[in-house]
Amino acid sequence: MKAQILDGKATAAAIKAELAVRAEALKARGITPGLGTVLVGDDPGSHSYVRGKHRDCAQVGIASIQRNLPADATQEQVEDVVRELNADPACTGYIVQLPLPRHLDANRVLELMDPDKDADGLHPTNLGRLVLGQEAPLPCTPRGIVELLRRHDIEINGAEVCVIGRGVTVGRPIGLLLTRRTENATVTLCHTGTKELPFHVLQADIVIAAAGVPGLISADMVKPGAVLLDVGITRTEHGLVGDVHPEAYEKAAWVAPMPGGVGPMTRAMLLTNVVEAAERQVTGL
């Protein structure tokens, strides 16, 4: 079977064109959306993602505010930058690039953010709102996955979804999104402690692999005709490797590949959250 491609690059380009119009309309009403980023340390992946975020901002007409700190920055220095962005009116939304170096307490940093400026939807208040079914900015990768499926007319309602990975940016929140009444999927969340991973993956109509383990999902685990979304990224000396083994692609009806699938959607959803936050300022909602 030749799987069809869930083309995140093309879908993200379409979303960015829509956002550019909305950013222009905001400017006409006196509000320039501005994205801040807080980046601590030298991780090449994190630097590349943050560069990408600011490139996207320039394309869409969102102002950029960058705060970079050295790898040995103290908790207090990071928190000072967060306080500064909370107070800066030019910054309508911002993110703290994760992961932070190990000596820093990421939860304390996230908690200090103004929830109304949380462009990642990772502040405890916003994650709590998601649990309660209230309006909140949504975490970018989960939101991007739902948007990618919707824009390709993939049936989510009633689907059996297997998520592999329990991280805070993807695994945990995607279960919350997909089980809302508007999505109505049934979600199994697997992780390193799951005893029968192949059994769970084999039941799934939609597989979301976000474990960061190269080639974890092999062809024999995949139900023929399933939808595969490869969210895992591991940097090796041979380049980037996803969680889905290339042979597994052959069994699927649809594949969001890595690269070019969910990653570009993560970036597009960050821009969407920033524009929406600025729109809320205009309407006062």
Ligand X SMILES: Nc1nc2c(c(=O)[nH]1)N[C@@H](CN(C=O)c1ccc(C(=O)N[C@@H](CCC(=O)O)C(=O)O)cc1)CN2
* Residues with a known catalytic role: 53, 97, 120
Torsion of CA 278, 282, 283, 284, to 10 degrees: 80
Q: Which is nearer to ligand X, 200 or 270 (by Cβ)?
A: 270
Indicate whether 106 belongs to the interface with ligand X (CB under 6 A). no
Instruction: Tell which one of 91, 138, 140, 204 touches ligand X (CB under 6 A).
Output: 140
Instruction: Work out how close the CB of 187 gets to ligand X at its nearest, in angstroms, rounded to a whole number.
Output: 19
- Measured from the Cβ of residue 155, the count of other Cβ atoms closer than 10 Å reads 11
Paired tokens of 219: 């062809």
- Helices H / strands E in the chain, number of each: 10, 11
Window of 15-23, 54-62, 95-103, 174-182 that interacts with ligand X by CB under 6 A: 95-103
Give the nearest distance from C-beta 229 to ligand X in angstroms: 11
Among 206, 228, 258, 275, binds ligand X (CB under 6 A): 258
CB 241 within 8 A of CB 215: yes
Rounded Cα–Cα distance for residues 136 and 129 (Å): 6
Task: Give the binding range for ligand X (CB under 6 A) out of 20-28, 59-67, 82-90, 261-269.
Answer: 261-269
Closest contact distance (angstroms) between CB of 260 and ligand X is 5
Position 263 contacts ligand X (CB under 6 A):
yes
- Dihedral of the alpha carbons of 256, 262, 263, 268, in degrees to the nearest 10: 130
With respect to ligand X, which residue has the nearer C-beta, 110 or 200? 110
Within 8 A by CB and 6+ apart from 172, the residues are 166, 189
259 binds ligand X (CB under 6 A): yes
Using rule CB under 6 A, residue 77 touches ligand X: no
Nearest residue (CB) to ligand X, 162 versus 258: 258
Distance CA 200, CA 242 (A): 19
Distant-in-sequence, close-in-space partners of 131: CB < 8 Å, separation ≥ 6: 176
**Count of residues engaged in binding ligand X, rule: CB under 6 A:** 19
Tell me the β-bridge partners of 4: 254
Structure tokens, 104:
């820093």
Q: How many CA atoms lie within 13 A of 240 on its CB side?
A: 12
Stretch that binds ligand X, among 54-62, 81-89, 101-109, 263-271 (CB under 6 A): 263-271
Q: Which helix (H) or strand (E) holds 85?
A: helix 75-87
Residue type, 241: V
Binding mask 162-191 for ligand X (x = CB under 6 A): -------x----------------------
The residue from 162, 249, 267, 272 that contacts ligand X (CB under 6 A) is 267
What residue ranges bind ligand X (CB under 6 A)?
Answer: 48-49, 95-98, 120, 140-141, 169, 233, 240, 258-260, 263-264, 266-267
